[in-house]
Structure 1
Amino acid sequence: MNKRNWIKVSQDADTGIESIRAHFQGHAYDPHWHDSFLVGVTEHGVQQFNCRRARHYSTPGKVFLLEPGEIHDGHAPTEEGFTYSTLYLDPLWLERELLALFEHAPSNSLPGFADTLSQDPRLAKAVALAFHALHEGDLRMARQAAVDSLLAALTEHLQWRKHQALDPRLPLVAQVARDYLHAHAYEDIGLDDLARACEVDRFRLSRAFKAAFGLAPHAYLIQLRLAKARQLLANGDSPVQVASALGFADQSHLGRWFRRAYQLTPADYRKRCSNLPD
């Protein structure tokens, strides 16, 4: 990591919400995705990132909203870099909380964000207050009140979509490949295995998959493993245990990919989230 960059991580024991405050100059992180909803605010500088097939520029006071699985990267286009605070919301937790807020929530539907960036000052204030309450371990009642205010502000930026087995916007071969990767995420899968499961050749598979998801199949598979690695590390598992359980060649292999995606070593992430000794 660039010596001028820094990152601070915490996790709320009651909700499981992970909070991250970070500063980056130059390249921040490679394309990746999370299995959480991300709600954050840019504090200083210009935060440039690609998501939903568009390039976005988040400046101070803007809120960025990412759904699980949305591929994004990060870069500082100006010399001063950028600082941001973000909350990682577990999808099951968020859905449960939102259903309690919406008396007439659509049946068989999932919540999503209408836009990737927002200039809503009410939402920005709610994000900042919730971040500080959770990240700094405020009184339990204060944390709960801040989270409730955040959820109330988020309701104006949500859209609901029906549960669908298949997304009509994406090629069928890419969706079959994705489902296969999820089902065999910790196995040593080859492109030929994936192509046979999709009943196409490897080249057609790779083109369709990258067009649909923005990553090659092997990079998507790594992201699947990294998402699980975050969970295991936060629960206190050692990097050696995690690397072995998730099919990485060794701890160093896990570490290289983890640093590229999150700008932290697995051991550092574990320590910050679990407060356990290395």
Structure 2
Amino acid sequence: MSPHNWIDLAQDADTGIETLRAHFEGHAYDPHWHDSYLVGVTEQGVQQFHCRRARHQSTPGKVFLLEPGDIHDGEAPTEDGFTYRMLYLDPQWLERELAALFDDAPLNSQLSFANTLTTDPQLAQATSLAFQTLHGGELKIVRQTALDGLLEHLTRHLHWRTRYSEDPRLPLVAQKAREYLHANAHLDIGLDQLAAVTGVDRFRLTRAFKAAYGLAPHAYLVQLRLSKARRMLASGVQPAAVAMELGFADQSHLGRWFIRAYGLTPAMYRNRCSNLPDR
């Protein structure tokens, strides 16, 4: 292996999905196959590989799609090498998730990729977002929403997806979901849990919630927690205690979301609102 090559590998505890980000120069790996579905995006350089008796060159923004058993290799045909990020999706997990996400999904709905390499900006964005949330250990509902978005893009060309039309239950579904989020904002809620409460699949739930409130359920939950965090910080509660009370993984996790929303750290906000020193 070249001294310039590197691999960053992690595994999501809830789903078992492996997330890989890597950089290779020259020869990357010999022909091999996986028992997982591989969905990846090239970030930088030219990623060249052979698969299904054809040579492919993936450049930044392109998505590569491999099914279990697809034999492939990898190399960098240019001096600067290539960098990519990839998700390894277990077939059994995929079958379960498709059934949960779309309650009309047929039993034989496992994915079959027509093309090994595709140019689809929306799919590329969904893949990168799923990688980012899993690799970064985001909130459960955030990770699940990103994965649902990925599956939505991966399946949108399948015939059974055309069956999804407007559902008269959806306005009530959105209201019920919102009430549940308000009552349980401190818990590590998953979309599957929220869907079970409202009686629809996750796809219909997310569509209904967005239509009613302009945000997906995960974004609404984060904003709800941040609103509570502001009130607690303004009353003088320490950021670490706020993070624990509201279900954030730790103080830094709260800080990332707080800065993203308000442009300053929780400690800075607390100090300005309460005039109390940060102990």
How many residues are treated as equivalent by the alignment? 160
Q: CA deviation at 1:2?
A: 0.8
Question: Could you list the runs of 5+ residues in structure 1 that have no partner in the other structure?
Answer: 161-278
The 8 Å contact of residues 19 and 135 in structure 2, kept in 1 or not, is answered as yes
Structure 1 pair 52/101, CA: closer, same or farther in 2 (3 Å)? Answer: same
Which TM-score applies when normalising by structure 1?
Answer: 0.55
Distance 1:157 1:24 in 2: 33
| Residue 19 of structure 1: aligned partner | 19
Structure 1 pair 139/103, CA: closer, same or farther in 2 (3 Å)? Answer: closer
Q: State the AA in 2 paired with 1:20.
A: L
Structure 1 pair 43/159, CA: closer, same or farther in 2 (3 Å)? Answer: farther
Mapped pair 1:91 → 2:91: yes
| Residue 117 of structure 1: aligned partner | 117
Which TM-score applies when normalising by structure 2?
Answer: 0.55
Structure 1 pair 144/108, CA: closer, same or farther in 2 (3 Å)? Answer: closer
Q: What's the secondary structure of 1:112's corresponding residue?
A: coil
Q: CA deviation at 1:142?
A: 1.2
Q: What's the secondary structure of 2:156's corresponding residue?
A: helix
The 8 Å contact of residues 114 and 158 in structure 1, kept in 2 or not, is answered as no
Q: CA deviation at 1:99?
A: 2.6
Structure 1 pair 14/3, CA: closer, same or farther in 2 (3 Å)? Answer: same
Question: Could you list the runs of 5+ residues in structure 2 that have no partner in the other structure?
Answer: 161-279
1:1-278 mapped onto 2 (5 Å cutoff): 1-108=1-108, 110-156=110-156
Distance 1:67 1:159 in 2: 19
Distance 2:27 2:85 in 1: 17
The 8 Å contact of residues 114 and 157 in structure 1, kept in 2 or not, is answered as no
Of stretches 145-154 and 101-110 in structure 1, the one that deviates more from structure 2 is 101-110
Distance 1:96 1:107 in 2: 10
The 8 Å contact of residues 111 and 155 in structure 2, kept in 1 or not, is answered as no
Structure 1 pair 15/92, CA: closer, same or farther in 2 (3 Å)? Answer: same
Q: CA deviation at 1:109?
A: 5.5
Q: State the AA in 2 paired with 1:84.
A: Y
Structure 1 pair 151/110, CA: closer, same or farther in 2 (3 Å)? Answer: closer
Distance 1:108 1:22 in 2: 33
Distance 1:149 1:109 in 2: 17
Q: Report which structure shows greater RCO (CA 8 Å, sep ≥6).
A: 1
Residue by residue over 1:98-120, the C-alpha shift from the partner in whole angstroms, topping out at 9 and shown as x without a partner, is 23334443454642112111111
The 8 Å contact of residues 111 and 159 in structure 1, kept in 2 or not, is answered as no
Residue by residue over 1:118-153, the C-alpha shift from the partner in whole angstroms, topping out at 9 and shown as x without a partner, is 111000000001101101111222111111111111
Structure 1 pair 79/159, CA: closer, same or farther in 2 (3 Å)? Answer: farther
Q: What's the secondary structure of 1:144's corresponding residue?
A: helix
Distance 1:138 1:6 in 2: 24
Give the structure with higher Rg (CA): 2
Structure 1 pair 35/157, CA: closer, same or farther in 2 (3 Å)? Answer: farther
Structure 1 pair 90/21, CA: closer, same or farther in 2 (3 Å)? Answer: same
Q: State the AA in 1 paired with 2:64.
A: F
Distance 2:80 2:58 in 1: 14
The 8 Å contact of residues 44 and 83 in structure 2, kept in 1 or not, is answered as yes
Residue by residue over 1:189-212, the C-alpha shift from the partner in whole angstroms, topping out at 9 and shown as x without a partner, is xxxxxxxxxxxxxxxxxxxxxxxx
Q: CA deviation at 1:95?
A: 1.2
The 8 Å contact of residues 112 and 159 in structure 1, kept in 2 or not, is answered as no
Distance 1:108 1:125 in 2: 27
Structure 1 pair 57/11, CA: closer, same or farther in 2 (3 Å)? Answer: same
Distance 1:53 1:159 in 2: 27
Distance 1:112 1:20 in 2: 22
Structure 1 pair 39/157, CA: closer, same or farther in 2 (3 Å)? Answer: farther
Q: What's the secondary structure of 1:127's corresponding residue?
A: helix
Structure 1 pair 107/28, CA: closer, same or farther in 2 (3 Å)? Answer: same
